[in-house]
């Protein structure tokens, strides 16, 4: 061993040079991570499905009222419906969620197609709002859910909430 070997920086081996390939290194690191710390299958499935729901031109509605947070509870009341109000620009959606289902209205009143998004297992049919903007479903969402409204050319998506 000579003096030059003692002064060599061990990180010099990782310096970029003409033979260094970022893509190859990245692929090797991906393979190692997949073996040593794989992404759980359920998490991967949820991520893929969440990305599939992404719509570039959808407007995200803001939750402006939630009876669980904003209303004063009535003592002794049980099975009280949850009242929600969402707003996206000029569109407001009022929703009442009960154990028997949900009902709501799009304001200003207009026809709309409403999808209740509650996960990959649910295949709830799309709801149709009438000319007065009213819609209802006999199926109550279980677990996290969101609404996707299509009003003419506009798409509005609500944030996800727990039922």
Per-residue pLDDT of the chain (163 residues; tens, 9 = 90+): 555 555 565 555 555 566 668 888 888 998 898 899 888 888 877 777 766 666 667 888 999 999 988 887 777 777 789 999 999 999 999 999 998 999 999 999 999 999 998 865 555 678 999 999 999 999 888 888 899 999 887 899 998 888 7
Structural domain boundaries in the chain: 19-52, 59-162
Among the CATH numbers 2.60.120, 2.60.40, 1.10.3210, 1.10.287, which is that of 59-162? Answer: 2.60.40
Using a 10 angstrom Cβ sphere, with 0-12 exposed, 13-18 middle and 19 or more buried, the burial of residue 125 is: exposed
Q: What is the pLDDT of residue 54?
A: 62
Q: What is the pLDDT of residue 11?
A: 53
Q: What is the pLDDT of residue 68?
A: 87
């Amino acid at each position: 061993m000579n003096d030059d070997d003692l002064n060599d920086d061990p990180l010099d081996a990782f310096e970029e040079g003409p033979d260094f390939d970022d893509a190859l290194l990245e692929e090797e690191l991906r393979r190692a991570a997949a073996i040593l710390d794989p992404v759980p299958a359920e998490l991967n499935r949820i991520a893929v499905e969440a990305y599939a729901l992404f719509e570039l031109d959808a407007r995200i509605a803001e939750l402006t009222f939630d009876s669980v947070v904003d209303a004063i509870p009535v003592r002794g009341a049980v099975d009280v419906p949850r009242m929600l109000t969402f707003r996206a620009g000029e569109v407001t959606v009022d929703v009442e969620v009960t154990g028997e289902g949900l009902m709501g209205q799009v304001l200003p009143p207009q026809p709309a197609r409403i999808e209740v998004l509650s996960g990959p297992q649910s295949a709830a049919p799309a709801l149709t709002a009438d000319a007065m903007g009213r819609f209802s479903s006999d199926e109550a969402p279980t677990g996290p859910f969101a609404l996707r409204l299509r009003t003419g050319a506009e798409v509005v998506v609500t944030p996800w909430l727990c039922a």
